Amino acid sequence: MDLTLSRYGFGSAPIGNLFTAVDDDTAQAAVDAAYDAGIRLFDTAPHYGLGLAERRLGAALASRPRDSYTLSTKVGRLLVPSAPGGRAPAGRDGEGFDVPADLHRVRDYSRDGVRRSLEESLDRLGLDAVDIVLIHDPDEHWEQAVSEAYPALAELRDQGVVKAIGAGMNQWEMLTRFVRETDLDVVMLAGRHTLLDQSGTRGLLPLCRERGVSVLAAGVFNSGLLATDEPSGTYDYAPAPGSLLARARSIAAVCERHGVTLPQAALSFPLRHPAVVSVVAGARSAAEVARNAALTARPVPEALWDDLATEGLIS
Residue 179, in any domain of the structure: yes
Residue 3, in any domain of the structure: no
Residue 315, in any domain of the structure: no
Q: Quickly state the pLDDT bin for 84 (edges 50, 70, 90).
A: low
Task: Examine the pLDDT at 29 and tell me if it is beyond 90.
Answer: yes
The predicted model gives 281-295 an average pLDDT of 97
The predicted model gives 251-277 an average pLDDT of 98
Give dist(CA 250, CA 165) in Å, integer: 38
Q: Please report the pLDDT score of residue 97 as a whole number.
A: 96
Which residues have a Cβ under 8 Å from the Cβ of 44 and sit 6 or more positions away? 12, 16, 53, 54, 57, 71, 72, 73, 74, 121, 125
Q: Please report the pLDDT score of residue 133 as a whole number.
A: 98
Pairing between β-strand 238-239 and β-strand 276-282 as defined by DSSP bridges: unpaired
Cα 48 from chain centroid (whole Å): 11
Residue 266, in any domain of the structure: yes
Task: Examine the pLDDT at 38 and tell me if it is beyond 60.
Answer: yes
Nearest to 134 by CA among 177, 169, 96, 179: 169
- The SS3 call for residue 279 is strand
Residue 187's φ and ψ, nearest 5 degrees, are -130, 145
pTM: 0.96
pLDDT tens for 10-27 read 999 999 999 999 999 999
The predicted model gives 211-215 an average pLDDT of 97
The residue among 82 and 124 whose pLDDT is bigger is: 124
Q: Please report the pLDDT score of residue 237 as a whole number.
A: 84
Residue 73: strand pairing partners = 133
Q: Please report the pLDDT score of residue 131 as a whole number.
A: 98
Task: Examine the pLDDT at 83 and tell me if it is beyond 80.
Answer: no
Q: Please report the pLDDT score of residue 85 as a whole number.
A: 58
Q: Quickly state the pLDDT bin for 89 (edges 50, 70, 90).
A: low
- The SS3 call for residue 136 is strand
The predicted model gives 255-266 an average pLDDT of 98
pLDDT tens for 216-253 read 999 999 989 999 999 988 898 889 999 999 999 999 99
* Angle made by CA atoms 137, 157, 165, in degrees to the nearest 5: 25
CB 218 within 8 A of CB 175: no
Active site residue 48: yes
- CATH code at position 97: 3.20.20.100
Tally of CB atoms within 10 A around 177:
16
pLDDT tens for 151-174 read 999 999 999 999 999 999 999 999
Q: To the nearest 10°, the Cα dihedral for 269, 60, 288, 52?
A: -90
Task: Examine the pLDDT at 140 and tell me if it is beyond 90.
Answer: yes
* Angle made by CA atoms 103, 73, 145, in degrees to the nearest 5: 85
Which residues have a Cβ under 8 Å from the Cβ of 303 and sit 6 or more positions away? 258
Q: Please report the pLDDT score of residue 4 as a whole number.
A: 83
Q: Please report the pLDDT score of residue 88 as a whole number.
A: 52
Task: Examine the pLDDT at 86 and tell me if it is beyond 60.
Answer: no
Which residues have a Cβ under 8 Å from the Cβ of 294 and sit 6 or more positions away? none
Return the percentage of the chain with pLDDT > 70, whole number.
98
Expressed as residue numbers, the domain containing 253 is 8-310
Domain count, the chain: 1
Residue 66, in any domain of the structure: yes
- The mean of the pLDDT values for the chain is 95
The residue among 2 and 73 whose pLDDT is bigger is: 73
Q: Quickly state the pLDDT bin for 2 (edges 50, 70, 90).
A: confident
Residue 2, in any domain of the structure: no
Catalytic one of 8, 35, 48, 235: 48
Task: Examine the pLDDT at 61 and tell me if it is beyond 70.
Answer: yes
